[in-house]
Structure 1
Amino acid sequence: MCSSPRGYRGEVTLTDQDRAVLDIAGRAWAGPGAKERAIRERLGISPTRFYQLLNALLDDPEALAHAPVTVNRLRRTRDTHRTTR
């Protein structure tokens, strides 16, 4: 489920890309298009792929340990959207 590699002792570890995805997701953005531009420039991926990776990270305990405020906020948002569908 997580795109992260296995570490030395078999534990899941976050990649640099995973940490960058969480960093971008946790920031406030000034205007429309700024976040999408940052995704393309910093990560070299499409916004669609960014959101796929981010969604997988929301279920990753390592992501929760790394960025608990961001992960919990986005989990609440995701759960709210799921219940309204």
Structure 2
Amino acid sequence: MRRPYRNSALSERDRQVIEIERRWGPGPAALPMKLDEASQRLGMDARSYTLVLNSLIDDPSAHALDPSTMAGLRHIRDMHRDARGAS
């Protein structure tokens, strides 16, 4: 599902968020490093980074840029949704 507020082209910030995700990989242990890099490199706080990342997860342009990273993020998101739904 595409978010109505997203432009079809990826911004430089979007590309850098994807690069940070690719560099650090999935998992809660990497989160502090991702947030630190996002803060230093992009001037983003944790909330802003999360909002941008969540908007990219279903973006076809993000998947075209880095299918592996984006598929992994989508998988993690779906696992969390399934776990919450089972509770």
Q: TM-score, normalised by structure 1?
A: 0.81
CA distance in 2, matches of 1:70, 1:27: 9
Secondary structure at the residue paired with 2:24? coil
Counterpart of 2:70 in structure 1 is 71
1: CA distance, partners of 2:16 / 2:4: 15
| Structure with the larger helix share | 2
Shift of 1:26: 1.3
Normalized against structure 2, the TM-score is what?
Answer: 0.79
Q: For structure 2, which runs of at least 5 residues remain unmatched after alignment?
A: none
Structure scoring higher RCO (CA < 8 A, sep ≥ 6) equals 2
Deviations 1:32-79 (A, max 9, x none): 732221110111110121011111101110000001010000000000
Counterpart for residue 25 of structure 1: 21
